[in-house]
Structure 1
Amino acid sequence: MAGGLVLLFLLLVGTGRCWELPAFHCNLYNSCECGFRPDLNALDCDLSRNVFGQHLAREQLVKALKVFVATDRPSKPLVLSFHGWSGTGKTFVSSLLVKHLYRDGNRSPYVHRFSPILHFPHAQNVNQYKEDLKQWIQGNLTACSRSMFLFEEMDKMHPGLIDVIAPFLGSSWVVFGSNYKKAIFVFVSNSGGEAINNVALNFWRGHKDREEIQLSDVVPAITKAVVADQEHGFWQSEIIEQNLIDVIVPFLPLRPNHVRYCVRSELEQMGLASEEDLVHSVTDSLVYFPEDERVFSSTGCKTVAFRINYYL
């Protein structure tokens, strides 16, 4: 056996294709981590310093990842579902996950992103998309069991399409040559954002601290909103019916003080001084809701960079 591997190596080198040996090794021995180098302390620090007003998201993510990473033989892949209003940090947090879980960060070939608008634009092609997506997931899991799959804008996904990957999210599917249960799936959606906002607003009106909001206060409302949305990718989905999502991660609407943190952070990244007049001008220029109370930012921190450039 050892002599055969040496011969294979020499043949690959001789053809200029020695880069294929690691993939062969991964499939044969199921021991390759594919650049999976989790640094959860750094992730927690990054979330604390650069993601504002999202105590629930931080707590849920770090806890779930610690348990998952510490398990040598997980019973199923880790499935996360991000929910919240636009601009609250869902996409940014997903990029931090990639940064702190994979050695090559966002350049890692084992991190795969899907956009319904880019990859699945035409409703009449759903059956073909299903077949393509199934083959893509299975092929990449065969190449690397530590793959991560990010599905953006699930609220714009064609209903029924995502069900094709439901078997990969459970505990009984078999992917030859790979322990696919080490994979991570992340779904990102604006759906449920209004329900989350209503919970946060009720807490504010009840003079309760934002940090008092618990997962149990928002998850039932998120689930109800997703199940009722006939245009959502999870509409009548087996993923929901079979309870294949491990952690629902809610992103709360941002208060003006959180927006100010975003402005200061953006100025720092631009190499500019954080002048308070500029910070307040940008913060005050955003739209807040409810209109008469101006409690939460309608766009979160999404337009902060543009408005800084406008005022500069």
Structure 2
Amino acid sequence: MELLGGLWLLLLSSASGFGFTWDLRSLRCSFSDVCECHFRPDLDGLGCDLAQNVFGQHLARQLLLKAVSDFVELEEPLKPLVLSFHGWTGTGKTYVSSLLLKHLYLDGGRSPYVHQFSPILHFPHAERIEQYKGDLKRWIQGNLSICARSIFLFDEMDKMHPGLIDVIVPFLGPSWVVYGTNYRKALFLFISNAGGEQINRVTLDFWHARKDREDIELQDLNLAISKAVFDNPHHGFWKSQIIDEQLIDLIVPFLPLQRNHIKQCVRSELKQQGLLPQATLLQSVIDSITYFPEEEQLFSATGCKTVASRINFFL
């Protein structure tokens, strides 16, 4: 220990002698593997990625970037950041969550401090819900004791057994210290298709009224999403204390994608594969996708989810 301390002082004095400005945090991290060293928020990179690679989601981009920026810049947050993503399949909810992980952690989604749960994979049997509650509570408490800067991502909340998620309520509020850990630095993210139909309806109403979809604001969607999600007896948030105690900080809506957004997705995918955006290929992929409603043929039924496989098919 004395040798390490001496080496530390030697490095600092050497840095001073050469006139360099050292990042003490980075230097400390070169000698340890504490979780704060894995937490490397790159907000500029996140904003750039959202702007360049997420199409048709002005609300999601704006809301997410502001919420995350405000949160990570606080040394002592008042409570954990709790976000809930809602929207139709293929609109980018999972993709945006992967970008968030990429720009918050050194190893992105592979970080040991990122924990992802799927109800089908982790909580498949309704008759074992009490066991799942105990397992989930121990898992979150144990990992928060290891690292306060942990992220817990719950996918497909519309398939979660009602009542199960309430076991995490004590971790979402303004708890200061439990087993020596400040839980206020954690981030919880819920992803759900529920509310997608209501978001689609509002977007369609704007289109019928000849209003720009980018004029849609959160207040236009909040009530509709809340009713569809929180009043649904089959949803994981049914009669949840998380809702009663208003522990969700922000609902992030994802709008349905139109043909021009699908075209952008195709171009992006071709670029990633190192291929040129040939006009015939672009049009073939766009035309092969099913659109709804039946009369307007306006929104992609699968968003951009099947774009990659369709490109490979036409190639």
TM-score for both structures, normalised by structure 1:
0.90
1:84-123 → structure 2 map (5 Å cutoff): 84-123=87-126
Q: CA deviation at 1:34?
A: 4.4
**2:245 is the alignment partner of 1:242:** yes
Distance 1:174 1:226 in 2: 32
**2:58 is the alignment partner of 1:55:** yes
Q: 1:253 aligns with which of 256, 259, 265?
A: 256
Distance 1:76 1:51 in 2: 28
Distance 2:32 2:183 in 1: 17
- Decide whether aligned partners of structure 1 residues 34 and 155 sit closer, same or farther in structure 2, where only a CA change above 3 A counts: farther
Q: 1:195·1:222 contact (CA, 8 Å) conserved in 2?
A: yes
Q: CA deviation at 1:173?
A: 6.1
Q: 2:291 aligns with which of 283, 288, 291?
A: 288
**2:83 is the alignment partner of 1:80:** yes
Aligned residues: 289
**2:185 is the alignment partner of 1:182:** yes
1:13-92 → structure 2 map (5 Å cutoff): 33-92=36-95
Q: 2:208 aligns with which of 201, 205, 209?
A: 205
Match of 2:133 in 1: 130
Match of 2:223 in 1: 220
Residue by residue over 1:124-146, the C-alpha shift from the partner in whole angstroms, topping out at 9 and shown as x without a partner, is 00000000000000000000000
After TM superposition, what 4+ stretches of structure 1 lie above 6 angstroms from structure 2?
none
Distance 2:271 2:175 in 1: 48
Could you tell me the percent identity over the aligned residues? 66
Match of 2:27 in 1: none
Q: 1:34·1:146 contact (CA, 8 Å) conserved in 2?
A: no
Mark the runs of 5 or more structure 1 residues left unpaired by the alignment: 7-20, 27-31
Q: CA deviation at 1:270?
A: 1.3
SS of 2:282's equivalent in the other structure is helix
Distance 1:109 1:173 in 2: 23
SS of 1:196's equivalent in the other structure is helix
Residue by residue over 1:91-119, the C-alpha shift from the partner in whole angstroms, topping out at 9 and shown as x without a partner, is 00000000000011122100000000000
SS of 2:38's equivalent in the other structure is coil
**2:274 is the alignment partner of 1:271:** yes
Match of 1:169 in 2: 172
Distance 1:56 1:244 in 2: 21
Mark the runs of 5 or more structure 2 residues left unpaired by the alignment: 6-30
Q: 1:262·1:301 contact (CA, 8 Å) conserved in 2?
A: yes
SS of 1:33's equivalent in the other structure is helix
Structure 1 letter corresponding to 2:124: P
Q: 2:175·2:183 contact (CA, 8 Å) conserved in 1?
A: no
Q: CA deviation at 1:69?
A: 1.1
Structure 1 letter corresponding to 2:152: F
Distance 1:157 1:22 in 2: 38
Q: 1:219·1:248 contact (CA, 8 Å) conserved in 2?
A: yes
Match of 1:145 in 2: 148
TM-score for both structures, normalised by structure 2:
0.89
Residue by residue over 1:2-22, the C-alpha shift from the partner in whole angstroms, topping out at 9 and shown as x without a partner, is 78x99xxxxxxxxxxxxxx95
Distance 1:45 1:147 in 2: 24
Q: 1:167·1:173 contact (CA, 8 Å) conserved in 2?
A: no
Distance 2:250 2:129 in 1: 27
Structure 1 letter corresponding to 2:212: D
Structure 1 letter corresponding to 2:50: L
